[in-house]
Chains A and B, each alone.
Chain A
Amino acid sequence: MKPYLTALTPAARLTVWKALAIALAVAGLSAWRFTAAFPQLIEAGDGSGLRELVQTAGFHQIFGAGLVALCGVLALPGTERGAKTGYTLRRLPVEERVLTTLWGVQNTLVLLFYWASQIAVFLALAGWYLQSAPADTVTRQTLVLACYQTEFLHSLLPMADWPVLVRNVLGCAMLGMSAAAVPLHWRHGRKAFSALPLALASALAFPVPLDSLIPTLLQLAIVLAALLLILYGIWRWHVDET
């Protein structure tokens, strides 16, 4: 296992800091938009509070842009820009398919971190909002209600909605594996561009309302099928390898 972990270090070195930078940028932008929109909302006397603030601040759009950028960053190492890194990767005493799968797992962890970081940012901003908003506009239920009523927040923090939670985790696995598969195919001279369209589709389809079991299960099935297809693409023998 040690050679595999070592073989993953260049990818980790190249992506972890960029992933952190993206997560921080998204957090900073969300916080700036949130705090900028807050006084306007108070002035307007809008009673819809946290829910409205999240929508006005464009949390979904910022999160989505960050997700697409992150998938791009994860897919870049090993795509052979400026050198045939594949010649080195394929000369290592490791099996390339196993390495790619582990690379996908590493990417999945980075994406899970991104998701968790955005939950943390939202909870921190929500905490600040609960303290700063006029007392008559907030209750103990404000946070929970916002998560139930806002599609994006519900998907970000699904709480007891297990299908959404599973969809999110599998979605991270799908995007992570796709970001690892693209450079593998490129290294072998095959055309593969699944990572960015999948990231874009995931960002757009991310918000789901409460009590939408059928659409969520449908998304879950699509994500699972995409994940299995990506894994099949990694593990099957290709024409150029025969």
Chain B
Amino acid sequence: MLSLYQVKKTYLGGSRALDTLDLSIGPGEIVGLFGENGAGKTTLMKCVLGLLRYSGVITLDEEPITPKNIARLSFATCEHSYFPALSAAAHRDFYRSMFPNFREKRFAALMEFFELPTRKAIRGFSTGQKNQFEVILALSQGADYILMDEPFAGNDIFNREDFYKVLLGILEPHETILLSTHLVEEVQHFIGRAVLLHKGKVVGDVTTSQLEDEGRTLMEYVKETYRYQADRVSRALDQLTQEEE
């Protein structure tokens, strides 16, 4: 269980990215993390991974996250975290020696599925290939909790759909995914739970089965939670044109 209790993060400039946030994610869950830009999605993941300092408590099976258990977490980010000058094969060797649970078969299968070259430096990959490789590393590390921050930015729709299918096919029951994305409609059939952030706080937390029972779509839930005003564009345009007159 990945647990966050009263987690606060304030950046040096004074802006509060996470505001007394509580969240628990159990083993085997596939959680979508949604929110507008600046809602705190990336900050949350970076705090979990220890990439940012924070106040509050973050635990993994009731243990603090330290170099001893950090290998149980993996991270795929649209900023990319691989070594650009190394090839995929060199990454495989590195991960194999660094992470004892590295899933070599999964790595090879995913590399083959996406037809990625193994001997070419990653910096020579296309943007889509780089994203694919980033996710392949995160999935192959052998982590129990796989954190993904906008991993498909720059990938076309076919690539993304393929990936969701592959993910659902390969994940083992204990593997947990925390996926931050703006692609609400696209991932609604892939995730089992949606967590909505706003100004660093959890403002919505629902399972997709709950939504199904209520006969609502994820997008409707998101719009309701954020009190989305469907007419705000037309009102703004009206106001602008009146000002010009």
A residues near B (Cβ < 8 Å) are 2-3, 6-7, 9-10, 13-14, 77, 81-88, 90-95, 239-242
Contacts and interface: CB of A to CB of B under 8 A. Distances in A.
B86 A7 contact: no
6 contacts: A6-B94, A10-B86, A87-B75, A91-B81, A92-B70, A93-B68
Interface of B: 12, 49-51, 53, 67-68, 70-71, 73-75, 77, 79-86, 90, 93-94, 97-98, 122-123
B94 to A, nearest CB: 6
Nearest to A11: B83
Given A7-B98, A94-B67, A84 B77 contact: yes
B98 A87 contact: no
B79 A83 contact: yes
B7 to A, nearest CB: 16
A227 to B, nearest CB: 26
Given A87-B75, A239-B12, A93 B98 contact: yes
Given A13-B86, A14-B85, A82-B84, A90 B50 contact: yes
Contacts of B75: 87, 91
B53 A87 contact: no
A87 B81 contact: yes
Q: Shortest 4 CB-CB distances between A and B: which pairs? A: A87-B81, A83-B80, A82-B84, A6-B97
A6 B12 CA distance: 34
A92 B90 contact: no
B83 A91 contact: no
Contacts of A88: 81-83
Contacts of B74: 91
B77 A3 contact: no
Q: Which of A3, A10, A13, A83 has the most C-beta atoms of chain B within 10 angstroms of its own C-beta?
A: A83
Contacts of A14: 83, 85-86
Contacts of B82: 83, 85, 88
B94 A82 contact: no
B84 A83 contact: yes
